[in-house]
Amino acid sequence: MTAADFRKLIADGVVAPSQDFGATTDLYEELINKNNLSQYYNFAASGGTAQTNYRASLFFNEANGIAKQNGREQFGGRVNINQRGLDDRLSLSVNIAATMNKANLLGGGGGDFEQAIQRNPTAPIYNPDGSFFETQGYNNYNPLSRLAHRISERNQQTFSGDALLSLKLIKGLTASTFVSYVRDNYNDRYYRSRKDWDQRPNSDYQGMAYASKSNLVYWSKTLESTLNYTRDIGTDHTITALAGYSYQYETTEAFNVNNNGFTTDGFLDWNLGAGSAIQNTTLPRPGMGSNKVDNTLIAFFGRVNYSFSDRYFLTAILRREGSSRFGANHKWGNFPAVSAGWVISEEAFMQDISLINQLKLRVGYGVTGNQGIPNYQSIVTLGTGGVYPQNGVYYQTYGPVRNPNPNLRWEQKAEWNFGLDFAILNNRVSGSIDVYNRTTKDLLYNYNAQQPSFVRDQIYTNVGSIRNSGVELQLSAIPVQNKNFQWNVDFTGNTQKNKLTQLSNDVFKANWLEFYGLPSPGALGNAFRLEEGGAVGNFYGKRFAGFTEDGKWQFYKADGSKAPANEMNNDDLVVIGNGVPKLQLALNNRFTYKNFDLTVFFRGKFMYDILNTKELYFGNKNWLPNNLLKSAITTHNALNDAPQYSDYYLEKGDFVKLDNLTIGYSFHFNTKLIRNMRLYITGRNLATFTGYSGIDPELQDTGFETGVDGRGFYPRTKSMAIGLTVGF
């Protein structure tokens, strides 16, 4: 609400007169960076001879976010060199890239824009003496004060290099070795000055400053060697075979330290030892920490392809992979795949059908593995406990922080796929349709463990399976094509459904799993429940039955009767919606007329629900004297009760977005100095067509917590870019 709306509530006696602080503030507007112009420059050069060619590029990017104190500067380069020798039997390709990035991470936090919604709009930004005005309401702070009195920066350097060496040993047989190295390093600095509200004299920090530093180094190295054999047998048969070995090792090292008790801001975070908290035990304790994790992934693999007369195709693949993340009994997994194809359009009986240019039928079955869990989940690891005194000396204690599981193994996804590729009307219309059925078993999850016999209360294990099925469609067409004008259309669409077929086994049992605990105030519980026979993304809660005359909630009980919130129990809760989109569509149109080109790209998601937590919290007059959404006194004016989670706050999320609109013009010069030049203007995220009342219906739609529109109010942006591409 605006300051005028808020003052009307004061005049109506809804809010106490003491809550009028005399100003008119649009905090949302104050947090927006009006000078958010971003720049990107790229220069590339290439050349070479018959045996050697190269390409080198440099770039600079200044990206300024929509929020104040949120942006980055980065620059970098890439070099690619290709060399051939030994009468073209030997080839070497080398790529080297480096990027330097300096980012301001202070602004743009979701909490800042949440303050813009809930902070009293009559509260000024500054006191008369120029200091920042702080409100004392629940969960309140002045975000402009934080932007002025804090530092949060990251300096990051990323390097990658790879090389591929191939040698033709004999006719049809090629040996290749690929190596790569990636290193990512960043240093973070953070500082809260003595003037920061959190450091005020009556806080735990007693008016003194706080500083911290952290750094992280990630690096990985990869080696992959293959033998590739190709042989033609007569004119109809072709066989290719590949055998290989892959090794990948990656590690992450991290360190952090913090201190407080700085009586001057002169050092900022560059003299951590100057903080007195090391000696002053009345201040919050300083801290430090470090860790290192690593993992290894090894694979042996083979593939055989067979084709007959370019009509019939057969492929068989086998991978044997071992991961250090799994238990001693199951580090290795076997993952086979087989597929076949039939080019029907090459058959003799199709040659007289001029309408069809291509028609290919495909079928495949394959198993893949997933190792996407944290490191060391299968073994006992140690952590620190308390300290104990002995002869006047305090000794640190250690103990297990994780249950071992030597039977922790690969999660496996088995999938059947049936596909059809086609092209008709002289290839003016082409596309494909795929139907798949996917079963994921041995799901990796952190389950509750019984104590005893387990030492800790949770354990990573393999329990459960999920079935997914769906249809994917891709179409491309050229509706119009003549000398000066061409219209290309590309359409993609997919639909899917899922079902949890198993959740428990003989050892680890669960009736259900729940996700996304709703934030305070109020003990509102979890938003999602996943149970056997149910779908991923099911919202589980109360069914809204109306309001009483005095504005209190009523919900439906299991027997169909109505009851207030305090009479509801677990037996009354049901599936009230689902946050996973069942249908996704995209449509791209490209028009070219002489030197002009126009691209228009739409996409959309359909058949899913959104939990609007912004309305749940800020659309409720119970949030007063904090500020509210205007819907609290319009749409939800009948409500006069504490927040409750129910289907009252579920909305349809269907939307269509104009995601990209680009207009370009290509110049043609009759000169050797400039090969080509194109000027273009691009707009992104230009329009959204939806019935959803929130900021943006496009939310996270993977994982177990899909379809929740959280309380953050970070603005969705429309961007415009002007670009010029020149070739010399």
Strand duo 150-170 + 39-48: pairing: unpaired
In eight-state DSSP terms, residue 695 is S
Residues 362-387 have a mean pLDDT of 94
pLDDT at 148 over 80: yes
pLDDT at 521 over 90: no
Quote the pLDDT of residue 262.
97
Q: Which residues pair with 436 in a beta bridge?
A: 417, 470
Position 679 confidence tier, pLDDT thresholds 50, 70, 90:
very high
Of 677, 681, 684, 692, nearest in space to 716 by CA? 684
Which residues have CB under 8 Å from 227's CB, separation 6+? Answer: 173, 174, 175, 176, 242, 243, 244
Q: Name the residue with tokens 């596909």.
A: 419
Go through the chain and tell me how many residues it has: 728
Lowest-pLDDT choice from 200-209, 234-243, 445-454, 584-593: 445-454
Yes or no: say if 412 and 367 are a contact pair by the CB < 8 Å rule: yes
User: From CA 372, how far away is CA 462, in angstroms rounded?
Assistant: 13
User: From CA 620, how far away is CA 624, in angstroms rounded?
Assistant: 8
H/E stretch holding 6 reads helix 3-11
Quote the pLDDT of residue 501.
93
- Tens of pLDDT, residues 484-519: 999 999 999 999 999 999 988 877 777 889 999 998
- Tens of pLDDT, residues 529-555: 999 999 999 999 999 999 999 999 999
Quote the pLDDT of residue 522.
79
Of 28, 22, 29, nearest in space to 123 by CA? 22
Of 610, 611, 613, 534, nearest in space to 575 by CA? 534
Lowest-pLDDT choice from 215-229, 307-321, 423-437, 520-534: 520-534
Whole-model pTM: value is: 0.89
SS3 assignment, position 49: coil
- Tens of pLDDT, residues 385-405: 889 999 989 999 999 999 999
Which residues have CB under 8 Å from 682's CB, separation 6+? Answer: 660, 661, 662, 720, 721, 722, 723
Residues 644-654 have a mean pLDDT of 96
Which residues have CB under 8 Å from 650's CB, separation 6+? Answer: 539, 576, 577, 609, 610, 611, 612
pLDDT at 130 over 80: yes
Position 138 confidence tier, pLDDT thresholds 50, 70, 90:
confident
Quote the pLDDT of residue 309.
92
Position 21 confidence tier, pLDDT thresholds 50, 70, 90:
very high
Residues 252-263 have a mean pLDDT of 97
Position 443 confidence tier, pLDDT thresholds 50, 70, 90:
very high
- Tens of pLDDT, residues 36-75: 889 999 999 999 998 999 999 999 999 999 999 999 999 9
Quote the pLDDT of residue 16.
92
String of DSSP letters for 222-274: EEEEEEEEEEEETTTEEEEEEEEEEEEEEEEEEEEEEEEEES-SSSTTS-GGG
Which residues have CB under 8 Å from 671's CB, separation 6+? Answer: none
Counting residues of the chain whose pLDDT is more than 70, the rounded percentage is: 100
String of DSSP letters for 282-319: TSPPPEEEEEEEEEEEEEEEEEEEEEETTTEEEEEEEE
String of DSSP letters for 173-225: EEEEEEEEEEEEEEEEEEEE-TTSGGG-TTSTTTT-EEEEEEEEEEEEEEEEE
SS3 assignment, position 5: helix
User: From CA 467, how far away is CA 409, in angstroms rounded?
Assistant: 19
Position 703 confidence tier, pLDDT thresholds 50, 70, 90:
confident
Q: What is the mean pLDDT of the chain?
A: 94
User: From CA 274, how far away is CA 194, in angstroms rounded?
Assistant: 14
Query: How many other CB atoms are found less than 10 A from the CB of residue 492?
Result: 17
Q: Which residues pair with 488 in a beta bridge?
A: 590
User: From CA 462, how far away is CA 504, in angstroms rounded?
Assistant: 9
Quote the pLDDT of residue 508.
78
Measured at the alpha carbon of residue 83, what is the angle toward residues 78 and 84, in degrees to the nearest 5?
A: 160
Residues 460-483 have a mean pLDDT of 94
User: From CA 611, how far away is CA 710, in angstroms rounded?
Assistant: 8
User: From CA 61, how far away is CA 325, in angstroms rounded?
Assistant: 38
- Measured CA to CA in angstroms, residue 701 lies from 305, 491, 684 at distances of 36, 21, 21
Q: In degrees to the nearest 10, what's the CA dihedral of 114, 120, 122, 128? A: -90
Position 666 confidence tier, pLDDT thresholds 50, 70, 90:
very high
- Measured CA to CA in angstroms, residue 432 lies from 315, 358, 438 at distances of 20, 11, 19
Phi, psi angle pair for 407, to nearest 5°:
-100, 10
